[in-house]
Structure 1
Amino acid sequence: MRWFRADLHIHSVLSPCGGLEMAPHDLVKRLQECKIDWFAITDHNTMANCPAYAAVAKDAGLFFSWGVEIQTSEEIHLLAYFDSPSQAQEFDTKLYNSLLPLENDAEYFGDQVVIDENENILRVEQRALINSSLWDLSQTAKTIMAYGGFAVPAHIDAGVNSIISQLGFMPEEPAFELFGVTAGLDMQDWRVRQPYFTKRSLIKASDAHYLADIGSGYSELYLAEASVAELQKAALGADGRHIKN
């Protein structure tokens, strides 16, 4: 068991709203400067860049998890994390087929580039990744689970694209074990103002779209290893695992 400093909500050059400076080698260097040893790439509605970032992370001695930030049909952002790259890729194909068939406006949003670990551009994704899946919140959560993933509502305290902002309340189903919060949130104050979260686990991340965002938000976790299975145990406070808030 040991402590990990984790930022599990970071965008790559593939996210249409992300900066091209978020290439893997510069990103890993910035993470090392901030003493963050575990990270996940969570691009909008795709995991196509995870292989490149996983390879660079491994070479640098950092821990990496496959992730994605899905926009549901209600425009709720839901994070999904996977330990198995093969299951992640199967899920990614299914997710891609659920996206609205709209083309990306590169002049407005920027290019969506898929790269390799040497930062060569493999292709430019033409489908707009910034839009919603046809799946609603419930279907999205169930599909994540069916592929061995762990679903975490993103930036639950945000004024847009959170469960609360989009629905106005926390539904009983689907039930979640962990909730993401924004980098600057005072979690103790939030729990006072939002009693629903008093005894629920929260995890802070940067939601970085630019290198300067790295280090603005992270969490410290006490785990046996840097894995999604261990993250889920920490969310439940199981077997001595926990998240420092």
Structure 2
Amino acid sequence: MRDIPFYQVDAFTNQPFRGNPAAVCVLPSFPEDDLMQQIAAENNLAETAFIVRRDGAEARYNLRWFTPTVEVEICGHATLASAHIVFTHLEPEAQHVTFETRSGSMPVTRHAGGKLCLNFPNFEPAPFPCPAGLGGAMGREPQAVLKSEKGDRDLLLVYQSAAEVRSLRPDLHALTDFAPFGFIATAPGEGEIDFVSRCFFPNHGIPEDPVTGSAHCVSAPYWARALGKPNLRARQVSQRGGDLWLKVTEDRVLISGYAIEVISGTMRLPG
């Protein structure tokens, strides 16, 4: 048996037991894919992140993300959680860390006050034909359906109000008929919140994701155009809830938020 450092971090919140929990495993090298998938299934969180420091590179790590059932191409909250662990435990003097991922380089910057900023790609969406039956599966017909033309697999479903998004009770089993899509339900916000969202990914082993950083690569460009402003405040209105500060540029979305560590210890692996 061998022990590895293990952490659980609540991302996009500064309060324990809110935001989105992610596991972070610090490894000398990546084990076999099957083992990482088993670890993610054991953790049974939306995402488990595996980070490996790159030789000779200051604050640069290889990063992979797994849900309980699949490896994913991009994940915001587990990247935020991984950066929190680097800044807190691995390289506390660093102000920047870069993660090399299947979706390219993902820089993260630490700002005063503890807020962390992810530098993610812009997946601006375009109108997309609403699949027949999707409104019924969601429990309410969306006003519009959009999808990024840059390969992102999530559909953006636009609703009239935050109250509508909060009240959604989708048939998660019915949503699996629309594989491989995930579903981002969004609407205008209230007060200081520019827009709200909820995210459902039953096709990827996640019924409802509490706070989804990567979904804002799609939703933030949509709302930046709709509202005519590049700087946005967003809230994911799941049961746990979380807050994000966004800046949309031509090709990137800067996604900022807080993170708080709630568990630290070791995980015992075979071999």
TM-score range, shorter chain: under 0.3
Q: Pick the structure with more helix per residue.
A: 1
Q: Pick the structure with more strand per residue.
A: 2
Larger Rg: 2
> TM-score, with normalisation over the residues of structure 1?
0.24
> TM-score, with normalisation over the residues of structure 2?
0.22
